Amino acid sequence: MSPKFYESHSPKNHNCTSSVIIRNGKILLGLRHYHDTSLWVAPGGRCDAGEAPESTVIREIEEEIGVTDARIVRKLGEYPGAYIDETGRDHVFVFEVATDQEPKLMEPEKFEKWQWFGLNEIPVNLISADLALSMFKKALNA
């Protein structure tokens, strides 16, 4: 990503989460707006100070898609994130998460929409595409 992509982003904590939510063989992604681009992302976000990644991913899912029954199926991995600044580099915890509820657009100022994609339908403008695709495949092959 270009530095411009992260230009207004100044994290207090470098721990982040991402979720892989699968239903009927499809993965949930949201089209998120940044300063100069829009990218497809999975639900998730930055940990608050002292917050465990497991708590963060559940909180972020509720905030972003309005789902209140999210439950962690398993941890898929931990990886270096794309953001780096003078205090360090992001560390991303990725979880497979299940829900029986339908996603809702809860933050229209950040996201345009949420949509389900088959593995062969994943958009090219996916954030951290190689890592994301490997996590999707890992979750689908469980």
Burial class (CB in 10 A: 0-12, 13-18, 19+), 20: buried
The average confidence (pLDDT) of the chain is: 89
Segment holding 133, helix H or strand E = helix 129-140
Here the tokens at position 31 are: 């089209």
Total of domains in the chain: 1
pLDDT at residue 7, rounded to an integer: 42
User: Using one digit for the tens of pLDDT, what is the confidence trace for 6-31?
Assistant: 444 555 568 999 999 999 999 999 99
User: Using one digit for the tens of pLDDT, what is the confidence trace for 33-69?
Assistant: 988 999 999 999 999 989 999 999 999 999 999 999 9
User: How far is C-alpha 6 from the geometric centre of its chain's CA atoms?
Assistant: 16
Domain range holding 75?
A: 3-140
CATH number of the domain enclosing 120: 3.90.79.10
> Is 2 strand, coil or helix?
coil
Q: Which residues contact 45 (CB under 8 A, 6 or more apart)?
A: 16, 17, 56, 60, 63, 64
User: Is pLDDT at 81 greater than 90 in this prediction?
Assistant: no
Here the tokens at position 99 are: 């829900």
| Residue bearing tokens 């398993």 | 74
